[in-house]
Chain A
Amino acid sequence: MATTTLPHTDQIWEWLSQVPDPEIPVISLTDLGIIRDVQWQGDTLVVTVTPTYSGCPATGIINLDIESALRAHGIQKLELKRQLSPAWTTEWITAEGREKLRAYGIAPPVDGTAADGVLAGRVSRLMGNNLTIQCPRCGSTHTQKVSQFGSTPCKASYRCADCLEPFDYFKCI
């Protein structure tokens, strides 16, 4: 590999689009929108990653997975950079990623509904009245919030009043 030309960054993006999120393996890191930049600095590949939640335990695994995947493709000099700003938002999850989430049984985020810390209209919002979350199993919009938090830092718990199944909703930030 040492004397060959460096792979184009498009190729790197393509490889990264094959790396699954460790917690939600149906979507890739690029679907999730956490890969912010890929560039060569000399013969070193610099991949810039932003965390979803500042305490997300998957962050370390994600870095490890990126490194393993790129090394397996022959990348030798690799640097991972963490970038906090602009802060990650669920709006960066790709359309394809959202469809994959739905098919997997996780209701994708509804853009523009993130908590803003302004408590006016609080009760209505907390009851989920500002949101129509479609059940990812039966498609019903007759669903209820069970808890603001779910099985990972990025999800909330809901249940469907029609098919009676519980499901995760990818909460908005």
Chain B
Amino acid sequence: MPSLPDMTTPNLTALAGQALADSGHVQVPAPDAGQEQFSEWLQRLGDNCLILGHRVSEWCGHAPVLEEDIALANQALDLIGQCQLWLGLAAEVEGKGRDADALAYLRDAGAFRNLLLVELPNGDFGVTLMRQFLFDAFHIELLRALKTSSDNRVADIAAKAEKEVAYHLERSADLVIRLGDGTDESHQRMQAALTKLWSYTGEMFLDDAVDQAMADAGIAPLPSSLQPAWDKTVAAVLDEATLAAPTGAWQHKGGKKGIHTEHLGYILAEMQFLQRAYPGAKW
């Protein structure tokens, strides 16, 4: 994974792969789910974590105060750890001999399945925090629902990740409120961030054929079913933060199908350079 955990752990991927293979879980998902669609859906989860984790890691050494720098780096680490689990499972389900690293480092932008929201540039600290809050509020509902997935492997990863994301949400909600209901400048910046990002939130709740197949197999909830809880959390926090969500209904979409903003390519150029230039390079 990009620069963070692997420096001293040459055998981690192999260990993780071995552990998954040995975990004793059923190796097939619930009936009627095509493996290709299942892997596609897992890549959406993994790519959200990978791309947001990478974006957040860009703050390392640049955050406004030391504590925030540490918090952002730790969140990036959590997300990239979760990405390794999801993409590891996606690769296993796919069964084409790829692993999490191959998915992360060797796919082009059109093969990435993350939401557009998570690839948007960091902007100022307000944009970074607002993006994190809007995503965390969605992420927690998704993981909560996945804990009862018909596929044990999915449920296990979700139960692990949920604890970390609950912590992320508490922090991002807290800071959105403090800064929204803060000074004139912090309020303006948070409102500008919300206005800028709002039209990227609708994509989280769009259902497509892959989502429907996962829902039919009991693997995952339909994304649309998560929206009421998200609406409630977001409305309560924004209200306390004295911020107003835009009323326009128009929403960007495309990330789940591989149609991305121009920003993703730049992320991949940085993240994938080493593996592209020196295939198979290891620490």
Chain A complexes with chain B: yes
**Which stretch of A7-15, A96-104, A136-144, A150-158 is in the interface?**
A150-158
Interface residues in A, total, Cβ within 8 A? 41
Select which of A79, A85, A149 is within 8 A of B71 by beta carbon.
Answer: A149
Interface residues in B, total, Cβ within 8 A? 54
- Give the dominant DSSP class at B's interface: helix
**Complexed CA–CA distance, A125 and B170 (Å):** 9
Asked if B171 and A148 sit within 8 Å, CB to CB, the answer is yes
- Give the dominant DSSP class at A's interface: loop
A57-B77 contact in complex given A80-B15, A150-B70, C-beta closer than 8 Å: yes
**Complexed CA–CA distance, A54 and B159 (Å):** 11
Is residue A81 within 8 Å, beta carbon to beta carbon, of the partner chain?
yes
A126-B70 contact in complex given A54-B78, A117-B140, C-beta closer than 8 Å: no
Question: Which B residues form the contact surface with A (CB < 8 A)?
Answer: 4-12, 15-16, 18-20, 22-23, 67-68, 70-71, 74-75, 77-82, 84-85, 140, 144, 152, 155-157, 159-167, 169-171, 173-174, 177, 233, 236-237
Of residues 55 through 95 on chain A, the ones whose CB sits less than 8 Å from some CB of chain B are 55-57, 59-61, 63-64, 79-89
Asked if B67 and A147 sit within 8 Å, CB to CB, the answer is yes
A82-B71 contact in complex given A53-B81, A119-B170, C-beta closer than 8 Å: no
CB distance from B149 to the nearest CB of A (A): 12
Asked if A115 and B166 sit within 8 Å, CB to CB, the answer is yes
Q: Which residues of B contact A85 (CB under 8 A)?
A: 152, 155-156, 159-160
Q: Which residues of A contact B20 (CB under 8 A)?
A: 82
Is residue A6 within 8 Å, beta carbon to beta carbon, of the partner chain?
no
A117-B12 contact in complex given A83-B23, A84-B156, A149-B71, C-beta closer than 8 Å: no
Asked if A149 and B74 sit within 8 Å, CB to CB, the answer is yes
Q: Which residues of B contact A54 (CB under 8 A)?
A: 78, 81-82, 84-85, 160-161, 164
Asked if B15 and A82 sit within 8 Å, CB to CB, the answer is yes
Q: What would be 5 A-B contacts, judged by CB atoms less than 8 Å apart?
A: A81-B19, A84-B159, A85-B159, A115-B167, A148-B167
**Complexed CA–CA distance, A126 and B171 (Å):** 8
Most buried by B among A64, A81, A83, A148: A148
Q: Which residues of A contact B166 (CB under 8 A)?
A: 114-117
**Complexed CA–CA distance, A169 and B218 (Å):** 39
Asked if B16 and A82 sit within 8 Å, CB to CB, the answer is yes
Q: Which residues of B contact A53 (CB under 8 A)?
A: 77-78, 81, 164
Asked if B12 and A60 sit within 8 Å, CB to CB, the answer is yes
CB distance from B95 to the nearest CB of A (A): 20
A126-B160 contact in complex given A53-B78, A147-B70, C-beta closer than 8 Å: no
